[in-house]
Amino acid sequence: MPILRLLELAPAQQQAASGFFQSSAWLLVAIPLLSAAFLLLAGKRADRWGHWVGVAASGLAFLFGLGVTVSLLGDDAATRVRSLHLFSWIPAGSLHLDAGMRLDPLSLTFVLLVTFVGTLIHVYSVAYMEQDPSRRRFFAYLNFFIAAMLLLVLADSYLLLFVGWEGVGLASYLLIGFWNHETPNAVAAKKAFVMNRVGDLGLIVALMLMFATFGAVDFTTVFHGAPAASTGLLTATGLMLLLAACGKSAQFPLQAWLGDAMAGPTPVSALIHAATMVTAGVYLVVRSAPIFEGAPTAQLVVVIVGGVTLIFGAIVGLAKDDIKKALAASTTSQIGYMILAAGLGPVGYALAIFHLVTHGFFKAGLFLGAGSVMHGMDDQVDMRRFGALRKFLPFTWATFALGWLAILGIPPFSGFWSKDKIIEAAFVGDGWRPWVFGLVALIGAGITAFYMSRLFFMTYHGTERWTNDQHPHESPRLMTVPMIVLAVGSAAVGGLLSIGGAFTIWLEPVTGHHEHGEPVLSVPVITVATLALVLAGVFFAWRQYAVSTVPTTPPLASGMTRAARRDLYQDEVNEAVFMRPGQYLTRSLVYADRRVLDAGVNGLGRLVAASGEVLRRLQNGFARTYAATMVAGLLILLVVVLVFQS
C-alpha cells in the first residue's frame, strides 16, 4: 500500500516549474557558488569587506528559498512536486541525462534549513574569525559548502546529486583542514575525506546498479521502475545507498571521521553538524524511499545501523572531556535516531526529516555556544577546565540551556516533538523488532540526557577550574544574536511545526500519507518512560558534575570508560582491520610490481640491448668488410643453389 501511495503521489503528478521563483530556482545554487568564486578570485582587495559578500550570498539564497517555498505553498498540496529542467547534460547514446532540479517539500525543507542556519553561522563567523588573516577564504569555502549542499538536495537525478555530494565532501575537507599549518588538523581533514570516499564508492555502485536496472539515474524513472524491479537488486542498491549515507552522515561503521572533524573552526563544526554534510545521508535514505520500500532487508539494516550508531555515539559522548568532541558524539547519536526513523519505512520518513530540522536548530545553537565559550576562554576546549561560566557568559548560558533542553526532549522544547515521536515509531510493529528498536531508542534518550547534562553542568555550573590567566568574557553581539535566534528556534520550531501535524502534512507529497500504527506499548507509557529516563539522566549528571567537585584531570576509570574515552577503539579497529592490511597489501603490490612485472619488462629490454651489443661488432665501419660479407653471402647462395639443383 505505501508503495502504491507513493507512486500515486510523487512522480505521477510532477509538473513543470512555474512562476519566477520556481523557474529560476537554479539561482539558489548559483548565488553562493558565484560568491565563493568571487571571494576566492578577488584577492586581498576584498579582505576588509569580503566576508559580508559571503553573508549576503547566503542570506539571499535563504530569501530566494523562502520565495520558492511560498510559491509552492500557493499550489494545491497534490501538485507540490515541481521539476525544473536546466539543460541537457550527458547526451550519450542510450544514456541521456538532463540536469534539472526537483522542487518539492522535502528539498525545500532542506533548502530553508541549510540557508537559514547557514546564514546565521555566516554572521557568527564574521566575529568568530575576526582575527584570522584568511577570513575571506573561509567565507568562500562556507559559501561553496552551502552551494554544494543545495545542489545535493535540489538535484533531480542521482548523478547530479552525486556532484553536490562530492562538492560537500570537498568543502568539508577544505574547512576541517582550514588551519592546516598544524599537522593534526590536516590529518583530520584527510581522514574525513578518505572515510567519505568509502561512502562515495557505495553511491557510485548504486548509480551503476540503477543504470543497469532502469537505464536511467533520474529520480522519476528510478522510482517509477522500482516497484517492478527484483527484490535482490533493490536490496543491493539500498545497501549501497546506505553505505553512502553512512559515510556522509558518520554512521556506524564509518563514524570515525566526525570526532576528528572538530579540528576545524567551530562555525564549521556547527555547519557540518546542523545544516550541510551529515544531514545528506538522511536525505539520501529518505529520498530513496521507493527503493527501500521494495527491499525490507535493506530497511532492516538501515534501522540496525541507526540503532547501533545511536548507542555508540551516546556511549562515546559519556566519556569525552573535549566540549566539541562530546557534541560531535551527540551528533553521531542524533543522526542515528534519524537513520533509524528513516529505516522504519513510511512512518518514519517525516519524523526523520522533522528531527533533522529540530536537530539542525539546537545542534547549531549548541556548537555556536561552545564556540562562544572557547572564544571567551582562549580556545580552551577541556570541560574539566571550565565550570561556573554562567555568570560570565549569560547570553551563551541562556541560549545553550535552551539547546540543551531541546536535545534532552523536555516538553515543550523542539527535541521533544521530534525525538519522542521517533521513539514511539520505533515501538510500532510486530515480533521482536519494536521491542529491540524501541528500547534502544528509549535507552539512547536516557544516555543522551546524562551526557548532555554532564556537558552543560561541567561547563556552566560547579566550581571554577580555569587556568589562572583566563578571563572569561561574553562574545560580541555578532556572535550572540545568531545564538539567540537559534535558541528561539530550538525552543519553538518543534512545537510550531507540530501543530496539527503541519510538518508531516507538508512532507506528504514526498513521503506519502501514512496512518500511524499502534505501538506495542501505549503512547503515554512511552512518553512517561522517556521523560523519567531523561530526568534520571539529568539528576545523576547534576549530582556528579554540578554538586560534587569535578577533578581537573580525568580520574582513573573502569575499562568501559577508558574504551569510551578512546571512541570505543574505533580508530584502533579501523587501523588494524583496514589500514594496516591495506598498507601491507599496497606494499606487497609495489614489491610484486618491482620484482615481477618491472623485472620482466626490464629484462626484455636488457636482452635486446645485449644482443644488439653483440651484433654491433659486425658493423665495423670498413666498407671492404661489408663488400666481403656480400661476396661471402653470394657464394653461399651459389653453393646452396648448386647443391639443391643436383
Partner 1 sequence: MNLSNYLVLASLLFAIGTATVLLRRNAIIVFMGVELMLNAANLLLVTFARIHGDLQGQVMAFFVMVVAAAEVVVGLAIIVSIFRTRRSASVDDVNLLKS
Question: Contact between 621 and partner 1 (CB under 8 A)?
Answer: yes
C-alpha 232: how far from chain center: 27
Whole-number minimum distance, CB 619 to partner 1, in Å? Answer: 7
* Interface map 161-180 toward partner 1 (x if CB under 8 A): --------------------
Long-range Cβ contact pairs of 376-380 (< 8 A, separation 24 or more): 376/472, 376/473, 376/474, 376/475, 377/466, 377/470, 377/472, 378/470, 380/466, 380/467, 380/470
Question: Contact between 618 and partner 1 (CB under 8 A)?
Answer: no
Question: Contact between 615 and partner 1 (CB under 8 A)?
Answer: no
Instruction: Give the three cell numbers for residue 280.
Output: 545528506
Give the range of 248-256, 382-390, 580-588, 615-623 binding partner 1 by CB under 8 A: 615-623
Peptide bond into 253 cis (omega under 30): yes
Give CA separation, 270 vs 130, 198, 482, in Å. Answer: 17, 24, 12
Question: Contact between 617 and partner 1 (CB under 8 A)?
Answer: no
Instruction: Give the three cell numbers for residue 198.
Output: 568509502
- Per DSSP, the three-state class of 178 is coil
Query: Cβ–Cβ contacts within 10 Å for residue 432, how many?
Result: 8
Question: Contact between 637 and partner 1 (CB under 8 A)?
Answer: no
Question: Contact between 623 and partner 1 (CB under 8 A)?
Answer: yes
The binder of partner 1 chosen from 131, 183, 553, 620 (CB under 8 A): 620
The binder of partner 1 chosen from 87, 432, 622, 644 (CB under 8 A): 622
Q: For residues 553 and 620, which CB has a smaller minimum distance to partner 1 in the complex? A: 620
d(CA 177, CA 172): 8
| Nearest in space to 330 (alpha carbons), one of 247, 177, 491, 450 | 450
Q: Count Cα atoms within 13 angstroms, Cβ side, for 75.
A: 23
Give the range of 158-166, 243-251, 500-508, 619-627 binding partner 1 by CB under 8 A: 619-627
Residues 530-589 that bind partner 1 (CB under 8 A): none
Q: For residues 589 and 631, which CB has a smaller minimum distance to partner 1 in the complex? A: 631
Q: For residues 618 and 643, which CB has a smaller minimum distance to partner 1 in the complex? A: 618
Question: Contact between 642 and partner 1 (CB under 8 A)?
Answer: no
The residue count for binding partner 1 (CB under 8 A) is: 10
Q: For residues 579 and 630, which CB has a smaller minimum distance to partner 1 in the complex? A: 630
d(CA 595, CA 295): 47
Q: For residues 525 and 635, which CB has a smaller minimum distance to partner 1 in the complex? A: 635
Give the range of 262-270, 316-324, 489-497, 621-629 binding partner 1 by CB under 8 A: 621-629
- Per DSSP, the three-state class of 38 is helix
Question: Contact between 628 and partner 1 (CB under 8 A)?
Answer: yes
Whole-number minimum distance, CB 620 to partner 1, in Å? Answer: 7
Give CA separation, 99 vs 85, 86, 244, 516, in Å. Answer: 7, 6, 21, 36
The binder of partner 1 chosen from 631, 637, 638, 641 (CB under 8 A): 631
Q: For residues 500 and 621, which CB has a smaller minimum distance to partner 1 in the complex? A: 621
Q: Are strands 95-103 and 15-16 parallel, antiparallel or unpaired?
A: unpaired
Q: Count Cα atoms within 13 angstroms, Cβ side, for 268.
A: 30
Whole-number minimum distance, CB 616 to partner 1, in Å? Answer: 8
Q: In what order do the strands lie in the sheet with 15-16?
A: 15-16, 82-92, 95-103
Q: What is the DSSP string of 503-535?
A: HHHHHHHHH---PPPPBSS-HHHHHHHHHHHHH
Whole-number minimum distance, CB 623 to partner 1, in Å? Answer: 5
Question: Contact between 183 and partner 1 (CB under 8 A)?
Answer: no
CB 322 within 8 A of CB 359: no
Amino acid (1-letter code) at residue 476 = P
Question: Contact between 133 and partner 1 (CB under 8 A)?
Answer: no
Q: What is the DSSP letter of 88?
A: E
The binder of partner 1 chosen from 624, 644, 645, 646 (CB under 8 A): 624
The binder of partner 1 chosen from 94, 131, 619, 646 (CB under 8 A): 619
Whole-number minimum distance, CB 624 to partner 1, in Å? Answer: 6
Q: For residues 432 and 622, which CB has a smaller minimum distance to partner 1 in the complex? A: 622
Query: Cβ–Cβ contacts within 10 Å for residue 272, how many?
Result: 28
| Positions in the binding site for partner 1 (CB under 8 A) | 616, 619-624, 627-628, 631
